[in-house]
A and B are shown apart, each in its own frame.
Chain A
């Protein structure tokens, strides 16, 4: 059962999000345990806030608990004007597991060494997926803790503090379907309210931008995934090439032996470098895009809620007009209209703030990741160059 090392985590922390952690509430996941599909995270909190009974505590949480927390936040009317941090994706160990299975089947066709290397590679991949999973869960909590409003949420505090199992029910089939239905209604509704005339240029712009951007970034994410996967494949091929070269050189007894040895060695070294290139790309680029795909969805949700409020407000205006015309239930309509207006205005106000900060956050995260990726790429390429130069030199001299 892999455990996350502290250093690695700090290295990874805030890979995708720049979080100005408030010292009054520090959250991390120092430990996680993987049992089959279930991952048990240890959520550790250090705080100076008086809401909490103790300054420091750890609780066990599962992925479902995170989802529960996210859903309750989304459903809280008060937070309609906020971008609710996207829920962490479900831990997915399918792909490395499947690969491991395939590898087991192909064991006979490989040399022992080759098999061991492939297995190591897969284990590393598995570990990387695991770490990434832990990281996204952590980031979710950290974004909540750094948010001025959300950090005060009661459910969030319970999530952090309640030292028993939250025993959140997994969603049953009906609820799953309900969620699906809700989404359908929402998209239909989105179409309906899209006819509502926007009153604020800012939101009009944001809407077009986010709609456009979200499709683009989704596309980029899948493309980047494919690219990094292909890169990984190349690195894996290097393993096989190295292994076979190695066994050929074992049988060779001429001058060629030395060359083949060196050549095989070279591939072995290069595969490590290429593997790093692939995984760094995955971490710095693909993961960034993935995260912002989800974040943009959250922002879009905010826009939807505001648009809904706008539609309600307009409807209430119409209702009020009607009521005045008929001089019937005017007070009630006025009341309703006022409420709607208030809600809409509140939403608009906080939405504007949230979207602006979202933009800033995105730019900072992109900058950070792109710079880091470029630096890593240069580092790896330089590493390859020096390896290759050394190898060519020795080959030429022997």
Chain B
């Protein structure tokens, strides 16, 4: 990372210390965050957009200071700040993007993300219309590469739209700005499902800048990994996704892509500005972002909530899993499921599409997602467990009802799993998710064994054990986390208890159903022996009635299970994931603490050297201290970022949980209601028969 960033810097011609740069960028980012909401809310959009030209010109002027800022960290914030005001949303994005990059440890990407900023700053107002057009092709080209890579599938389309629309909107309709402001808010919060909206808004908002458009289009291609991911749109995510998919070393590739892109862009506009900007930002705006988010809480939160609700309304993605089908024979057989997606989201190539997936593909998806996202504090929905027994039955058994039940159970839980994944605004943006939904053939997932049933649970338990151990050590600075973790843990226990009880309810109801059937048969026999005709008839009616009631009990047992038990099982699994995210936060804290300890040691060593008067080694010690100081700040910010993500995620999780439970509770009660209504009908039909006994 350092190497890369320094490389960039060299290009720019500024021998800047990457660490310093980081620091600068962080400041700016935080400023952006804290101030932006105010601007957005307080100032009418017209203020933001009112004078695009003047703003832009300001930006231009500011852009230069930005370059210099690398040397004078304290100045930077202000400079950046101004451009933010002027541009409205973009600066934020930049900050966020940068942060993402940091998180991913992909300086290259950050550079690219920043590019748009450069454009903004560098491009004179006059160019706007012209540039938008001219740059478009260039960008498209640049993006073509990502396209070749499996991840960036749908990216190109949305971009085009953006570009086509943006010029008109921007210039012709000022009033639109208001509408746009909302999406911008989304940027701050989590409304990633609105990506498209955001993108549009962004495009609209940045009248003169093509850059924003680029930013967004890129973003749409990829998903964001980091916690700030929500707020930052996806430019980074592409990068991160790629890097993850290909391994850390793939950075260079990306670099190339972006480099080229930059070159093309630079043809249009002042090259240097961009580069400098890029280089200045390689550090950790992201962390600062999160920190800012955390601190500004009240306002930010309400904002988020607003956004989330909005986004829910706009959310247009239906996934269903149908037609489980046995493929192959014997022990190599497996079940394939039809995964159908229906969406109006522009990031997909078409509105409806269907793929066939097998169970291990789902596990593979989870593995990819959790590898990428859980370390940042995201709650990645866990898939259903592997079931050796169930699957063996399916493989061996022919038309065993229990294997049919198993398949249906799995189908339903896979469906819920996938729905949870796409409901997550950040995960939805992940290219792996899209690939999973869209791509015809998926490379066979391997090593899903680790996830199988008990193993998976064990893993979670281990993680939680570790957490509880660590909590003892960690003097929790934030009461919120402490309380939440306790809540989560006790809820987990309660849900397990409830699960056990509902499980026994299911089995008792099944027992009741079986016993009712047996009784019905017995009564039928009794009726056939009865010599009083009317009584005999009534008894055989009673037998029929009990047969129907048996059906009711059976259906109700099914509802107990599918509506109630499975919900609990899902949430027990999800709570495991929640605890996992707390665990990640703890780990991040641990790393920060370790770095601090190391730094302390280095300082002590330096003091010793100083005392021992060994100037030759002193310089090295100083360098090390500087390095570790940087790491401490970096880790601290990372910790804060992860903390903020966890907090946000938990809030999101709770909301979703409340919604899920409400929905399922009502569904369950309705099922009970229905069976009681049937019961009334049945008995009312029987009553005259009983009365007819004479």
A contact residues vs B (CB 8 Å cutoff): 209, 212-213, 216-217, 219-220, 223-224, 226-227, 229-231, 233-234, 237-238, 240-241, 244-245, 247-248, 251-252, 254-256, 259-260, 262-263, 266, 270, 359, 362-363, 366-367, 370-371, 373-375, 377-378, 381-382, 384-385, 388-389, 391-392, 395-396
29 A-B pairs in the complex with CB atoms less than 8 angstroms apart: A213-B529, A223-B521, A226-B519, A227-B516, A230-B512, A233-B511, A234-B509, A237-B501, A237-B504, A244-B501, A248-B494, A259-B658, A266-B669, A366-B535, A366-B539, A366-B693, A367-B538, A367-B690, A367-B693, A373-B690, A374-B686, A374-B687, A377-B683, A378-B687, A385-B673, A385-B676, A388-B669, A392-B673, A396-B666
* B673 CB, min distance to chain A CBs, angstroms: 4
Cα–Cα distance between A212 and B530 once the two chains are bound (Å): 9
Q: DSSP class of B's interface residues: helix, strand, loop or mixed?
A: helix
Query: Which B residue sits closest to A110, measured CB to CB?
Result: B497
Interface mask (B502-542 → A, CB under 8 Å = 1, otherwise 0): 10110011011001101101110110011110110011001
Q: Does B665 contact A (CB under 8 A)?
A: yes
* A251 cross-chain contacts in B, Cβ below 8 A: 487, 490-491, 494
- Set of chain A residues within 8 Å of B515, measured between Cβ atoms: 223, 226-227, 229-230
- Docked-complex contact B511 and A220, CB < 8 angstroms: no
CB of B694 within 8 A of chain A? yes
The answer to whether B662 has its CB under 8 Å from any CB of chain A is: yes
Closest A residue to B496 by beta carbon equals: A244
B679 at the interface (CB under 8 A from A): yes
How distant is the Cα of A247 from the Cα of B496 in the complex, in angstroms? 13
Q: A270-B672, A363-B535, A370-B542 are in contact. Are A216 and B526 (CB under 8 A)?
A: yes
- Category for how many chain B residues contact A: 35 or more
Which residue of the partner chain B has the closest CB to A366?
B535
Contact, CB under 8 Å: A219 / B670: no
Given contacts A219-B522, A244-B494, A363-B535, 20 further A-B contacts (CB under 8 A): A219-B525, A220-B523, A237-B504, A240-B501, A248-B491, A248-B498, A251-B487, A254-B654, A254-B657, A255-B662, A256-B662, A260-B665, A359-B532, A363-B532, A366-B535, A370-B542, A371-B690, A378-B687, A392-B670, A392-B673
Report whether A226 and B518 are in contact in the complex, using a CB–CB cutoff of 8 Å. Answer: yes
Give the distance to chain B from A326, nearest Cβ to Cβ, in Å. 47
Nearest CB on B from A205, distance (A): 8
Q: Is the CB of B690 within 8 A of A374?
A: yes
**A213 CB to nearest chain B CB (Å):** 5
Q: How far is the CB of A266 from chain B (nearest CB, A)?
A: 7
Q: Indicate if B333 sits at the interface (CB-CB under 8 A).
A: no
Q: Which of A248, A270, A367, A385 is in CB contact (< 8 Å) with B680?
A: A385
> B319 on the interface (CB 8 Å rule)?
no
**Smallest CB separation, A201 vs chain B (Å):** 14
Q: How far is the CB of B340 from chain A (nearest CB, A)?
A: 29
Give CA–CA (A262, B665) in the complex, Å.
Answer: 10
- Min distance, Cβ B657 to any Cβ of chain A, angstroms: 7
Q: Is B661 interfacial (CB-CB < 8 Å)?
A: yes
Query: B304 to chain A: closest CB distance in Å?
Result: 16
Judge whether A241 and B505 touch: CB under 8 Å. Answer: yes
Residue ID in chain B nearest A221 by CB atoms? B522
CA distance A245 to B515 in the complex (A): 28
Give chain B residues whose Cβ lies under 8 Å from the Cβ of A219: 522, 525-526
A378 x B680 contact (CB < 8 A):
yes
B512 touches A234 (CB 8 A): yes
CB atoms of A256 and B676 under 8 A apart: no
Q: Which of B119-175 contact A (CB under 8 A)?
A: none
A373–B516 Cα gap in the complex (Å)?
A: 16
Chain B residues with Cβ below 8 Å from A367 are 535, 538, 690-691, 693-694
| A256–B658 CB distance below 8 A | yes
Question: Can you name the residue of chain B whose Cβ is closest to the Cβ of A389?
Answer: B673
Q: What is the distance, in angstroms, from A6's C-beta to the closest C-beta of chain B?
A: 28
List the A side residues contacting B512 at CB < 8 Å.
227, 230-231, 233-234
Are A366 and B523 touching (Cβ within 8 A)?
no
For A234, A248, A395, the residue with the greatest tally of chain B CB atoms inside 10 Å of its CB is A234
CA distance A241 to B677 in the complex (A): 22
Closest residue of B by beta carbon distance from A114: B501
Docked-complex contact B522 and A223, CB < 8 angstroms: yes
Most buried by B among A233, A245, A374: A374
Residues of A within 8 A of B445 (CB): none
Give A266 to B669 CA distance when docked, in angstroms. Answer: 9
Distance in angstroms from A14 CB to nearest chain B CB is 17
- The answer to whether A256 touches B657, judged by C-beta atoms less than 8 angstroms apart, is yes
Give the complex CA separation of A213 and B526 in angstroms.
7
Distance between A384 CB and nearest chain B CB, rounded to angstroms: 4
Residues of A within 8 A of B534 (CB): 363
